[in-house]
Structure 1
Amino acid sequence: MRRPDPARPLSGVEHLLAVRGTLTAGEVVTLLVPLARELASLHDEGLALAARATGGLRAGDAALHDGGRPALAPLAPAAPGGQALERADLADLVALGWRALGGPAADVPTALAGVLNAALDAPEEAAPSAAQLARALLDACPARALQLPPGTPLVAAAQESAAPALAAPDRDPDPVRADDRDPVRAAGRRRRPRRGTGVRRAVVAGVAVLALVLLAGAVLHLRPSPARAAAGLPTVSATAATPQPVATAPASTPAPSWSGVVSALDARRAAAFAHGDPAALATVYVPGSPALARDTEMLAAYARAGAVADGLRPRLLAVDGAPGSVDAQVLRVRDVLDGWVLRRGAAQVRRPGRAARTWTLELRRVAGEWRVWDVSAAVSGSSPGSPVRSGG
Structure 2
Amino acid sequence: MESEDISGYSLRRGLGSGSAGTVWLLRDLATGRHAVLKRIPKAAVVTPKAFIGDLDLARTIDHPHIARLLEVRESDREWLLFSQYVAAGTLTSLLERRDALSPGELVTLISPLAQGLSALHRCGLTHGHLHLDDIMFDADGRPVITDAGLRALAPPSSPAADLTALGAIAHQAGGTAKSFPASLFTTTADVLAQQTLHRATPLPISLNFTQDREPTTPIPPSPATPPAISLRRPQPATQRHGSARQSALRFLRTKRAAYGILAACGAGAVTTLVIGLAAAGVLGHPTRSTATNHQATPSSTPPAQPTRTAEASWLQTLQALDVRRSRAFATLDPTVLNSVYVPGSSPWSADRDLLSSYRKQQLRIEGLRLQIQSVTVETSGKTTVVLRVVDRFVTGVAVTPAGQRTTFPPGKPTTRRVTLTAAAESWRISAIAAA
1 or 2 for the larger relative contact order (CA 8 Å, sep ≥6)? 1
TM-score category (smaller protein): 0.3 to 0.5
Return the TM-score normalized by structure 1: 0.47
Which has the larger strand fraction?
2
